[in-house]
Amino acid sequence: MNHAVVRRIAWGAAAALLSFGAQAQNIRVAYIDPLSGAFAQTGEQGLAEFRFAVDQINKRGGVLGGRKLEVLGFDSKVSPQEALNQLKRITDQGIRIITQGNGSNVAGALIEAVNRHNERNPGKEILFLNYAAVDPAFTNDKCSFWHFRFDANADMKMESLTTYMAGQKNIKKVYLINQDYSFGHAVKKAARDYLARKRPDVQIVGDDLHPLGKVTDFAPYVAKIKAAGADTVITGNWGQDMSLLVKAGKDAGLNVDWYTYYAGGLGTPTAMGEAAAGKVKIIAEYHSNVANNKAAKWDADYRKQAPKGNPDFYFLRGKIMWEMLAKAINQAKSAEPKAIALALEGMRHAADLGEVEMRKSDHQLIQPLYVFTLHKTAARGGPKEARIDMEGSGLAPVTDARLEAFTSAQPTSCQMKRP
Amino acid sequence: MEFVLVQTLNGISYGLLLFMLSSGLTLVFSLMGVLNFAHASFYMLGAYFAYQVSAQIGFWPGLVFAPLLVGALGMLVERWGLRTVHKYGHVAELLFTFGLAYLIEEAVHLIWGRLAVEYRVPAELDGPLFHIMGSQYPIYRGFMMLVSVTMLVSIWLALTRTRIGLVIQAALTHPQTVEALGHNVPRVFMLVFGGGAALAGLAGVIGGNAFVTEPGMAAAVGPIIFVIVVVGGMGSLAGAFVASLLIGCIQTFAVSLDWAFGGISIAQAAPVLPYLLMVLLLIFRPKGLMGTREG
């Protein structure tokens, strides 16, 4: 406890000293995500990718004719309370831009805190760049001028996923299984609504919610899916809830296609193993075997220096985020959050896989998405597109469909209050 | 009908795995009065050791060596850790095992990393054992049942038919007398603690590849095995057996029930039911189903 206080005072003093001659300083961005505990590796992955992205921008000359960007890691422990403590440290250090992605609960707390801070400290506003927290509320009723989301939200992903599913005539009976918390509920609701609209002939034969991360044995759920006669399962599960489900399905000889959000998440392909081959589909903005991949060199360069244990390049949206931030700073000719935010609003950007737009009305990035299936790598008898596997698991993503940016765009209920 | 049969088999096989896990815990508790918080960590170590051994020389040697290694580690922990802490009483022992659990988890992080490792079911056990009207039942689940039933029978034989078993049973109730008769009670303690750890290790070898081998696996099963020990009755092996099967089946069948009360279906509440059972049992029958001690 004493340590923390001493450290805070020291940081405060250091920040005060630095702020005197800070004009030609680096533009610092605080990365608030888990850097210890069970999700540390996920947090470390984002940090490593962002450091790489920032290095690339700095090598090309930085922003504002020579100033450099810098990312600093702050441990959120995926806890809203911890993230708010870190936000205090961050403001004490005079950092004005933050980025976060793991946990919509954390993102929600940060949005509120940033709004409050910015109201009380005019001229010292903070900008929040969200790269992965997908609760639709953040760009609807909880939208904020200071928050920008670079990931497609849960509803947008389901919109694209169901657009793809609408064309799959072999889908007749769908089973929904999700984790029993806000995100799982959002996936369940969106799946029901959008399927009813796009494929009214599809029958929803089952709908289960199970506690988050507490189920060891998914065999009973699989027996239920099987008894319901489902040919397709939609799930927002992540982590071990995802891998255990697919493994249990394979053991029981369950023959279904899995439509997922996060089966590509760190560690999951390894845990699922070949049980997933040809069966598991994922919706995301990027995978390493995507066609006409203008980010291929970036991807390869990243892999060459990637930390051990996190070999893959995962967040194309992270690359997009940093490129757009640099562009906005240059356009605004300022590193002031308000000026950056005004430049980011409505910005169009020629990203590696097609044009993206930061929608002005709700600060949601509209970008193309891909539905892809995990296959055995070409070397192990899979399709020839299955070149680069995920985390050395022998499972490689292959595109099923590209869904253009407009497919996923949703109406928004956001009533943005601009300063 | 077919569905009920499949779910019954699922329930029994899961219950038997839970029994493998909790038998060691209840043995250690009954003999030493130590509620070993690190028990689930030995389960995790069993899985990781088996992963390491099977990567080098195959699954079957792993099945033998991994529990032995975990057992040896358990004995070392008892000899050089618990025995020293013992004189400060049960609270100190409890805290010791509590800390040990964290220590083991961090050690696993350091050695094997934070992600799941690729510990797979061996090819000869991978596939369907039989089909029940279109549903298939995996060989590996059958194997799980076989191992745990074999284990149950051997523990029972060892406790009732061997000399050391009789000494252990005697030390259960009358440690002073046993000591007075010239038996080395501390060594019996060490053997039992090591044996308990080895049983957890064996469960890890079997459970690690049936499910996922990752650093969170100890925390995932930790609470449920305590529930089993409490429900079965502290220190009762037979109680643990009945409670394991009961809880395995309750969880499995609850998942199948979609009846809803006040917006929450039984299926949704399935994983919470064992804890509910424990709370009710503690209120109405604190000694557990087959326990002999009060409170």
- Burial category of B36 from C-beta neighbours within 10 Å (exposed 0-12, middle 13-18, buried 19 and up): buried
CA B51, CA A79: separation in Å to the nearest integer? 32
B138 Cα to chain A: minimum distance (Å):
6
Confirm if A148 and A358 have CB atoms less than 8 A apart. yes
User: Which residues have CB under 8 Å from A385's CB, separation 6+?
Assistant: A289, A291, A378, A398, A399
What pLDDT does A3 receive?
63
What pLDDT does B2 receive?
78
What pLDDT does A6 receive?
62
Please tell me whether residues A257 and A380 are part of one structural domain: yes
- Burial category of B259 from C-beta neighbours within 10 Å (exposed 0-12, middle 13-18, buried 19 and up): exposed
Residue A177 lies in a domain: yes
> Could you state, in order of their start, the residue ranges of all structural domains in chain B?
2-118+135-284
A83 Cα to chain B: minimum distance (Å):
22
Domain finish residue from A366, A394, A412: A366
- How many other CB atoms are there within 10 angstroms of residue A119's CB atom? 10
Query: What CATH number does the domain containing A199 carry?
Result: 3.40.50.2300
What pLDDT does A1 receive?
44
Residue A184 lies in a domain: yes
Q: What are the average pLDDT values for consecutive 10-residue runs of chain B, which has 295 residues?
A: 86 92 88 88 96 93 95 95 88 92 93 84 86 80 92 90 88 83 89 94 93 86 90 87 94 83 77 89 89 58
Q: Judge: A219–B10 Cβ closer than 8 Å, yes or no.
A: yes
Which residue, among A86, A76, A92, A150, has the nearest Cα to A124 in the 3D structure?
A92
Please tell me whether residues A123 and A35 are part of one structural domain: yes
- A392 secondary structure, DSSP code: T
**β-pair type (A369-376, A395-403):** antiparallel
Residue A412 lies in a domain: no
- How many other CB atoms are there within 10 angstroms of residue B86's CB atom? 18
Q: If you measure CA to CA, which chain A residue comes closest to B132?
A: A252
Instruction: Specify whether the backbone of B121 is left (phi greater than 0), alpha (psi in -120 to 50) or beta.
Output: beta
A383 Cα to chain B: minimum distance (Å):
23
Please tell me whether residues A315 and A176 are part of one structural domain: no
Please tell me whether residues A28 and A169 are part of one structural domain: no
Residues of B in contact with A219 (CB under 8 A): 10, 13-14, 141, 252
A237 Cα to chain B: minimum distance (Å):
15
| pLDDT tens-place string over residues B93-149 | 999 999 999 999 999 989 998 777 888 888 888 888 888 766 778 899 999 999 999
User: Which residue's structure tokens are 């502290």?
Assistant: B234
Which residue, among A201, A196, A200, A176, has the nearest Cα to A186 in the 3D structure?
A176
**Helix, coil or strand: residue B94:** helix
Class of domain B2-118+135-284: mainly alpha
User: Which residues have CB under 8 Å from B161's CB, separation 6+?
Assistant: none
What pLDDT does A20 receive?
46
Residues of A in contact with B268 (CB under 8 A): 180, 208-210
Q: Which residues of B touch A (CB under 8 A)?
A: 3, 6-7, 10-11, 13-14, 113-118, 120, 128, 135-138, 140-141, 211-212, 214-216, 220-221, 224, 251-253, 255-256, 267-268, 270-272
Residues of A in contact with B136 (CB under 8 A): 252-253
Distance of CA A5 to the CA centre of its chain: 33
Residues of B in contact with A213 (CB under 8 A): 216, 220
Residue A41 lies in a domain: yes
Q: Which of A211, A227, A247 sits opposite B3 (nearest CB)?
A: A227
Number of domains composing chain A? 2
**Helix, coil or strand: residue A90:** helix
What pLDDT does A13 receive?
56
Residue A413 lies in a domain: no
Asked if A221 is an interface residue toward chain B (Cβ–Cβ < 8 A), one would say yes
Q: Judge: A219–B214 Cβ closer than 8 Å, yes or no.
A: no
A244 Cα to chain B: minimum distance (Å):
6
Please tell me whether residues A79 and A211 are part of one structural domain: no
CA triple A151-A157-A158, angle to 5 deg: 155
Please tell me whether residues A255 and A333 are part of one structural domain: no
A262: β partners:
none
CA B157, CA B174: separation in Å to the nearest integer? 21
Q: Judge: A273–B120 Cβ closer than 8 Å, yes or no.
A: yes
What pLDDT does B260 receive?
72
Confirm if A260 and A345 have CB atoms less than 8 A apart. no
Asked if A275 is an interface residue toward chain B (Cβ–Cβ < 8 A), one would say no
Confirm if B17 and B144 have CB atoms less than 8 A apart. yes
Chosen for mutation from B3, B125, B211, B213 (greatest number of chain A CBs closer than 10 Å) is B211
Residues of A in contact with B11 (CB under 8 A): 220
Around B173, how many Cα atoms within 13 Å sit in the side-chain half-sphere? 6
CA A264, CA A101: separation in Å to the nearest integer? 16
Q: Rounded to 5, what percent of chain A is helix, strand, coil? A: 40, 20, 35
Tokens found for residue A137: 């509320």
Q: Judge: B253–A220 Cβ closer than 8 Å, yes or no.
A: yes
Q: Judge: A267–B7 Cβ closer than 8 Å, yes or no.
A: no
Q: Judge: A267–B216 Cβ closer than 8 Å, yes or no.
A: no
Q: Which parts of A198-256 are beta strand (E)?
A: 203-210, 232-235
| pLDDT tens-place string over residues A92-150 | 999 999 999 998 889 999 999 999 999 999 999 999 999 999 999 999 999 999 999 99
Please tell me whether residues A85 and A189 are part of one structural domain: no
Residues of B in contact with A38 (CB under 8 A): 114, 215-216
Residue A290 lies in a domain: no
What pLDDT does A5 receive?
59
Residues of B in contact with A255 (CB under 8 A): none
Chosen for mutation from A207, A224, A243, A272 (greatest number of chain B CBs closer than 10 Å) is A224
A372: β partners:
A282, A399
Please tell me whether residues A9 and A130 are part of one structural domain: yes
B60 Cα to chain A: minimum distance (Å):
20
Give the structural domain span for A83.
2-152+296-366
Q: Judge: B212–A210 Cβ closer than 8 Å, yes or no.
A: no
Please tell me whether residues A350 and A381 are part of one structural domain: no
- A232 φ/ψ angles, rounded to the nearest 5 degrees: -145, 140
Residues of A in contact with B271 (CB under 8 A): 210-211, 214-215
Q: Judge: A211–B215 Cβ closer than 8 Å, yes or no.
A: no
The segments of chain A whose pLDDT lies below 70 read 1-24, 38
